[in-house]
Amino acid sequence: MELWYTQEHSPNVRLSIKVDRHIYSEQSRFQRIDVMESYEFGTFLTLDSQMMVAEKDECIYHDMMVHVPMATHPAIQKVLVIGGGDGGAVRELTRYKSITHIDVVEIDKRVVEVCRHYLPQTASKLDDARVHLYYEDGLRFVRDKEQAYDLILVDSTDPFGPGEGLFTKEFYGNCHKALKEDGILINQHESPYYERNKGSLQKTYERVSAFFPITKFYGACIPTYSSGYWLFGFASKKYDPVRDLKKDQWEALELDTQYYNTAIHKGSFALPNMIKKLFDK
């Protein structure tokens, strides 16, 4: 009998991936965790049946989350990752010798343990000496931090379940406080393609831009995510991601990235008119 994993991308659209083996399943304190092996996308992790990371295309998501701010801000040393228990964002951060300290705040310890076992491709650098793991709610963790970080990455689940608080105005305000004067905040955003997500994109824009003078979105094509068209939020106190891109400085590092390059960086901020229209006041 054939085995298929199916995710609902909208009430009228579903994506199905043929699965070779369902290798792990548990209900943790926070969510249902599943690991499957597929023919097309390799091993992948789902939380509450939502696709999180797949071996074949996770490089797109993690490259865009990490290298865009790293190529914009010239001196990032202290980083906070909220969520990100699969370790993919940390793996990309650890490529930079200039980073001295990485705090990772993951609400669910079981996600880290399961990824260490089944997804070593993403989780292996969680043992880097610069990485400090905290098993807590990210919403609470940032409340008492002031001017502590150069970069905050919100690598969370979508705005329901444990990730819901990470899309609130209170949270963005606390991130602003936790960042240094020239700090950058990146958050993963849902796909804006289907009707039901358009309101949430506008809401995030309003909430983030209430604190950050520079608030932008950038996109990437990620085949396993809803609609394949995914957005990230870029919020900054000082740096504009296109104007201040340090092309030569970043290229001189000679990092062997699978997806990111500085041309993609610039292009990713060019949004289609149908998305731009959503922000017209």
Binding site for ligand SAM (CB under 6 A): 47, 52-53, 61, 82-86, 105-108, 111, 137-139, 155-157, 162-163, 165-166, 188
Cβ closest to ligand SAM, residue 145 vs residue 238: 145
Residue 213 burial (C-beta neighbours within 10 Å; 0-12, 13-18, 19+): exposed
Strand partners, 233: 187, 217
Q: Let me know how many helices (H) and strands (E) the chain has, helices first.
A: 10, 12
Quick one: how far is CA 8 from the chain centroid? 20
DSSP conformation class of 253:
T
The CA distance from 69 to 223, in Å, is 23
Among candidate residues 34, 57, 86, 155, the one labeled active-site is 155
The CA distance from 151 to 143, in Å, is 16
Nearest residue (beta carbon) to ligand SAM: 83
Could you give the 3-state DSSP secondary structure of residue 107?
Answer: coil
Cβ closest to ligand SAM, residue 92 vs residue 108: 108
Min. distance of Cβ 186 from ligand SAM in angstroms?
12
H or E element that contains 164: none
Note if 155 is an active site residue.
yes
Cβ closest to ligand SAM, residue 163 vs residue 192: 163
Residue 214 structure tokens: 């520079």
Closest CA to 104 of 76, 126, 73: 126
Cβ closest to ligand SAM, residue 93 vs residue 166: 166
Active site residue ranges: 155
